[in-house]
Every structure is written in structure tokens, then in C-alpha cells.
Amino acid sequence: MKELIISIKPPDKILKGAGIPNTSFIPSYIYKLNIELINNSNQSRLCSFSSTLGNGIRYLKNMEHTGPDNIVDKIKIVEPCEDVYNNNVIVFANNINLSPNSTNIITLDIGLCDKYTIDCIENTGDKISHKEKIHYYGHLICESYVDSCSAVSLACDYELIVKCDADKLQKGESTKYYIHCRTGQYDMARSVYVRCVLDNGLEFIGDSSNLQPEKVYSFNGKTIIKWNVGSLQPSEIKRIGYMVKVKEDIEQGNVLKSKLNSNCVNNSTYTQCPSSCEHLLTVE
């Protein structure tokens, strides 16, 4: 086991939006980024660290710290600056003391800009495309020892997520799923559709959806449901709710999967924006 470890934990997917405007009725798509500093040794360590955030990432304040060591006052945030040709947010601290067997976590609010954001200097290139990888890097230094890490987020123009009222059900019980179709702050999506594939042990409850499905049919024992969602304006969220039931002939302990995929056209770039997700339901 390494004695000193740094890790960066950004969101897996991040919708494009700089957190502006941050209002109660327009989604601002502010995400949390964690930087973890771990000392696994039985001795205090005097260290320095630096983390370079990805292309297009903007720091949106609200830095928080959890852990045994008083390191917050030494943490600095370097904002992008054209004068020194720096387009990345850099988080760093010098000469911080990490106590024995400790974990310190630094949490930041971030958003993802693109080249069309007003006064944007975070993005070094062109407009960030759907599913482009955003890279993060970190280094923890103690004397001659260096631990390094990296992480990746996927930038999104459009995102599909699913939530459910339950993760475990008994035979014959029903639950409700919630699909969220979301666009970023900069682009309109058109021709949005959602398709759901239910495992053989799940039964779709007819007339339970708030949006009437275009098609419901069976294929290889699975139930296929397709919705036409239409168009979404920038920062718009459309929600689909529907109910499913666990069939009586399914065995206890089975894990039933609901797989969802969606696609749409970015009305600005005329490109496809596919997205997918899934939910697992355990039969008790």
C-alpha cells in the first residue's frame, strides 16, 4: 500500500453550463469535485499538492474541507488568465501537514464552460462536443516522493438519467420509475426519443405513464417501451414517470435490469447526442 495518495473524483458526466445564471428555476448544473489527500503512514508528513482541472472547467466557489488537518488556509485557487497563457483552474497548497493515518477531502463547486460562454477563457479550443473527455490531473509531493493521479468526466450537451422509488421488491409488488431528459445551458435538443428495455421479470403497467408511449412491444421475452419526447430548450428538463410490476414467476434473489437509451439532435451543431443509463432491481 502506498503511504501517500492523491485522488481526484469529478462527476462521471457533466452537462455544459457555467453555473450561470444560478437561479431557483433555471438549472445551473453546478457539480461537486473532490480532491482526496491520504496519509497511510504512522508519521506526520509535510507535503505539497497541485491539481489541474480540465479544459473548460470553471471554479464556482464553495470550497469545503473535511479531515483532521487544518489545511484550508493554505489552499490556493489559480483562475485562468490569458496574460500568462493559462486556461486551466489550478488548485494547490504548499507545506501542508498531513497527520498519521489521515484522509483530508477538499470539495469544490465546478461548472463546464465552452467557447460560446460570455467572457470564457477556460476553454483553450473550439466548442466542446458531446461526450468529449474532460481530463483532470493531480500530484502530491513529499520530499523526493511524488504520487500522481488522473480522472475523466464526459462533457454532455444532453443527458438521460433514471431514478426509482425502490431498489428491492417482492414478487407481485410494483414501483415507479422516473426518467429525466436534460439539456445543458447552451443548446436546444430536437427529435428527442427515449427507449426502455425491461428484463423478462418486469411487467410494464399500462396507462401508468404521464407521457403516452409511442410503442410498447415484446422482443426475446423483454418489454420494449419507446417515447417521443419532442424538443428541449436550453436548460430544460422533461420528466417521464411510469410504473412496473415484478412478475409472480420470478425467483427470489434475481436482479432485474431496466436499460434505457436516448438520442436527440443538437440544434446548433446538427450532431447526434446519444445517452444511456440503467437501473437494477433486486427481488427479495
Residues 174-192: tens digit of each pLDDT: 999 999 999 998 889 999 9
The span from the CA of 175 to the CA of 130, in Å, is 32
Judge if the upstream peptide bond of residue 21 is cis by omega within 30 degrees of 0. Answer: yes
Show the low-confidence residues of the chain (pLDDT under 50).
none
Residues 24-62: tens digit of each pLDDT: 666 778 999 999 999 999 999 999 999 999 999 999 889
Domain coordinates in residue numbering, the chain:
4-156, 158-283
Assign a CATH topology to domain 4-156: Immunoglobulin-like (2.60.40)
- Residue 86: the pLDDT is 82
95: amino acid identity, one letter: N
Assess whether the region 4-156 and the region 158-283 belong to the same CATH fold: yes
- Residue 14: the pLDDT is 95
Q: Alpha carbon of 112 to those of 45, 55, 116, 117: distances in Å? A: 34, 8, 11, 10
* CATH 2.60.40.740 fits domain 158-283: yes
Q: Give me the half-sphere count of Cα atoms (radius 13 Å) on the Cβ side of residue 77.
A: 17
- Residue 19: the pLDDT is 73
- Residue 265: the pLDDT is 97
- Residue 22: the pLDDT is 67
Q: What global pTM score does this model have?
A: 0.89
CA 250, 252, 254, 259 dihedral sign is positive
The span from the CA of 113 to the CA of 214, in Å, is 35
- Residue 84: the pLDDT is 72
For 210, phi then psi, to 5°, come to -75, -20
The grid cell for 176 is 415507479
